[in-house]
Amino acid sequence: MRNIYNFSAGPAMLPDAVLAQAAAEMQDYNGTGQSVLELSHRSADWQDVMDEAELRLRRLMRIPAHYTVLFLQGGASAQFAMVPLNLMRNGKADYLITGLWAKKAYREAMRYGAARVICSSEAQQFTCIPEWNVDLFDPAADYVHLCMNNTIYGTMFHTLPDTGSIPLVADISSCILSQPMDVSRFGLLYAGAQKNMGPAGVTVVIVRSDLLERVRPDCPTLFRYRTHADHGSMYNTPPCYAIYVMLLVLRWLEDTVGGLESMAARNRAKAQLLYDYLDESALFRGTAAIRDRSWMNVPFITGDAETDARFLREASDAGLVNLAGHRTVGGMRASLYNAMPVAGIQRLTECMADFERRYA
């Protein structure tokens, strides 16, 4: 039982059991007399970590055999360049703009060819997922890109565009492993680990293997998916410790939580608790369009910046930390990733109710 609940958008909470095991194994991993931090990446003990991490990720997400799983560095921001460098063979890609990160991905792609905006909710301050018209997709596009869950604005794609034979590429940094998803609908998925999967420092890429051949000649060796695919993500030294902690999280998800269906039920219940409170509150209100609400990130405001600031101070004093909204939007944001227990959200809604009684 914790005294502090960390609602950060990432790096974020990790399961208590994961932290306990990481602490216990820090000075001697698996009887090797070495710390995980010291293990040679060419040792058998380390290869076992890599293999089990990939196996469990494949099993949890039901990743089909014709997809390649990569553990890379650089975060989702590196993928903004790596996706076009590896896939934009014909110099065309279509982007759905649902927030700051989607826009950054789009802008980076413009450096490599004709990236197009298919739809955008910028005029609505990204409070909703925009409508799209499938006829707008260019059949000759190398891919269609979207950001599945928008961390800053608390929106999520609950249905996906049908892109036909055009590969669909998605940034799933803030929703990976939060619920089952049909990987076969995508050409490529990528996610920084530091929200739902582990600590900062490792990025997962799941790519349909035939797409590895599309790499552009101007792509640096280390930024080619093919380079890493050919070497089991160990062309060079991988970010070992981040991968090890990710493995502990994957074990927790599979063996303790019981897989993504169970995780999804927990996450739905957690988000519902907070949304129900927001929908009845006379003081606080959610900012995202109801039909597009994210289960992972819940932004809310009182409508008055000073009251927001007062609430944030009180919440922090009560052990509910990192509730401030992204610096570009202000207000509050509660990130409810997998490791956030329901008790944390109960404490949050109690704190909100108490504040509301005094200030509404």
Residues that bind its own copies (CB under 8 A): 2-4, 6, 8-14, 16, 19-20, 22-24, 26-27, 32-35, 37-43, 73-78, 80-81, 85, 108, 111, 192, 194, 198-202, 218, 220-223, 235-242, 245, 319, 321-322
Q: Encoding tokens for residue 291?
A: 């039909």
Minimum CB–partner distance for residue 23 and its own copies (Å): 4
Residue 77 or 281 having the CB closest to its own copies = 77
Nearer to its own copies, 87 or 202 (CB): 202
Task: Considering the candidates 195, 252, 270, 295, report the single residue annotated as catalytic.
Answer: 195
Alpha-carbon dihedral sign for residues 203, 209, 211, 216: positive
Task: Note if 295 is an active site residue.
Answer: no
Q: Is 199 left (phi over 0), alpha (psi -120 to 50) or beta?
A: beta
Task: Pick between residue 137 and residue 252 the one whose CB is nearest to its own copies.
Answer: 252
Strands 67-72 and 203-208: what pairing?
A: antiparallel
- Beta-carbon contacts of 312 under 8 Å, excluding residues fewer than 6 positions away, are 323, 324, 332
Catalytic residue flag (residue 101):
yes
What's the closest the beta carbon of residue 233 comes to its own copies, in angstroms? 12
Residues 347 and 183: their CA atoms lie apart, in Å, by 35
Closest of 3, 78, 6, 1 to residue 321, by C-alpha: 6
Answer for the pair 105, 145: CB distance below 8 angstroms, yes or no: yes
Shortest reach from residue 85's CB to its own copies, in Å: 7
List the catalytic residue out of 94, 142, 171, 308.
171
User: Using CA atoms, how far apart are residues 265 and 271, in angstroms rounded to an integer?
Assistant: 10
**Cβ 295 to its own copies, closest distance in Å?**
20
Tokens of 326: 């992204």
With respect to its own copies, which residue has the nearer C-beta, 94 or 108?
A: 108
**Closest distance between its own copies and the C-beta of residue 161, in Å?**
26
In the complex, what is the shortest distance from the CB of residue 115 to its own copies, in angstroms, rounded to a whole number? 14
Find the catalytic residue in 46, 101, 132, 295: 101
**DSSP-based helix, strand, coil % in the chain, nearest 5:** 40, 15, 40
The set of residues, in sequence order, having a beta carbon less than 8 Å from that of 217 and lying 6+ positions away, is none
Please identify, using beta-carbon distances, which residue of 9 and 257 lies nearer to its own copies. 9
**Closest CB to its own copies among residues 99, 238:** 238
DSSP per-residue codes, 102-147: HHHHHHHHHTTSEEEEEEE-GGGTT-SPPP--GGGS-TT-SEEEEE
195 included as an active-site residue: yes
So which residues are the catalytic ones? 101, 171, 195
